[in-house]
Chains A and B, each alone.
Chain A
Amino acid sequence: KAGVTQTPRYLIKTRGQQVTLSCSPISGHRSVSWYQQTPGQGLQFLFEYFSETQRNKGNFPGRFSGRQFSNSRSEMNVSTLELGDSALYLCASSQRRGSNTEAFFGQGTRLTVV
């Protein structure tokens, strides 16, 4: 069974640009969550999608957005990039929504904003 696939693995963007990251969950998983990982803030929750609907959102500005497609694949978009957006962005998928459900993580996309 293929794991969670995130593309691209690495990105370098310039301040002010926008970027789109992609996440393909494990087959059969309908819940996809996104996290931002930085050395200073650690792992912070961005948002969760289930059945193409955003179900939960973390404390990030509106420049961060996402969507989920009918095949459960998800994308997140960051507009008007800032230097502080440089981070590892991790996607996690799970079969269902529930507090004890195991989340499976992808390898992440390393975004560098210059």
Chain B
Amino acid sequence: GDSVTQMEGPVTLSEEAFLTINCTYTATGYPSLFWYVQYPGEGLQLLLKATKADDKGSNKGFEATYRKETTSFHLEKGSVQVSDSAVYFCALSEPSGGSNYKLTFGKGTLLTVNP
């Protein structure tokens, strides 16, 4: 079945450092890929998405490129801020005859950014 593997962390960075959170996936078809973020005490919010190979999703300075050849969707940000501290989830959704719609999540990566 589908699965998502992401670095579990925790990741601790200083403000303005470069961030990479690795994510690889296993899927039988052509999934859509997502990064969700969860701030303390909150539900998940969509950060960015990509729906086909070589698409780049971007939002709030974060970027991720859908790499079909390496089945990866790594999250990057050039300069993190304290407000980026949160848990980040990589996820995929794969169509299956129109009857199977669900998100498969990685375990999540806790990011802490120190001033």
Interface residues of A (CB under 8 A from B): 4, 6, 31, 33, 35, 42-43, 45, 48, 50, 55-56, 58, 90, 92, 97-108
Chain A residues lying within 8 Å of B105, measured Cβ to Cβ, are: 35, 42-43
CB-nearest residue of chain B relative to A58?
B102
Chain B residues lying within 8 Å of A98, measured Cβ to Cβ, are: 95, 101
Rounded to whole Å, the gap between the CB of A17 and the closest CB of chain B is: 25
CB-nearest residue of chain A relative to B31?
A99
Chain A residues lying within 8 Å of B45, measured Cβ to Cβ, are: 105
Are A107 and B43 in contact, with the CB atoms below 8 A? yes
Assembled-state Cα–Cα distance A104/B36 (Å): 10
Assembled-state Cα–Cα distance A70/B95 (Å): 25
Question: Is chain B's binding surface mostly helix, strand, loop or mixed?
Answer: loop
Are A97 and B98 in contact, with the CB atoms below 8 A? yes
Assembled-state Cα–Cα distance A102/B51 (Å): 11
Chain A residues lying within 8 Å of B43, measured Cβ to Cβ, are: 4, 6, 90, 105-108
Residues facing A in B14-52 (CB within 8 A) are 31-32, 36, 41-46, 49, 51
CB-nearest residue of chain B relative to A42?
B107
Are B41 and A97 in contact, with the CB atoms below 8 A? no
Interface residues of B (CB under 8 A from A): 31-32, 36, 41-46, 49, 51, 89, 93-95, 98-108
Please report the number of residue pairs spanning A and B whose Cβ atoms sit closer than 8 angstroms.
Answer: 64
CB-nearest residue of chain A relative to B106?
A42
Most buried by A among B46, B51, B101, B104: B101
Are B44 and A97 in contact, with the CB atoms below 8 A? no
Chain B residues lying within 8 Å of A100, measured Cβ to Cβ, are: 32, 49, 51, 93
Are A107 and B101 in contact, with the CB atoms below 8 A? no
Chain B residues lying within 8 Å of A50, measured Cβ to Cβ, are: 101
Assembled-state Cα–Cα distance A104/B34 (Å): 12
Are B101 and A48 in contact, with the CB atoms below 8 A? yes
- Residue in A31, A43, A90, A102 whose CB lies within 8 Å of B101: A31
Chain A residues lying within 8 Å of B42, measured Cβ to Cβ, are: 107
Are A45 and B108 in contact, with the CB atoms below 8 A? no
Given A33-B102, A58-B102, A99-B95; 20 other pairs, CB 8 A cutoff: A6-B43, A31-B101, A35-B103, A42-B106, A42-B107, A43-B103, A48-B102, A50-B101, A56-B100, A90-B44, A97-B101, A98-B95, A99-B31, A99-B32, A99-B93, A100-B32, A100-B51, A103-B46, A105-B43, A107-B42
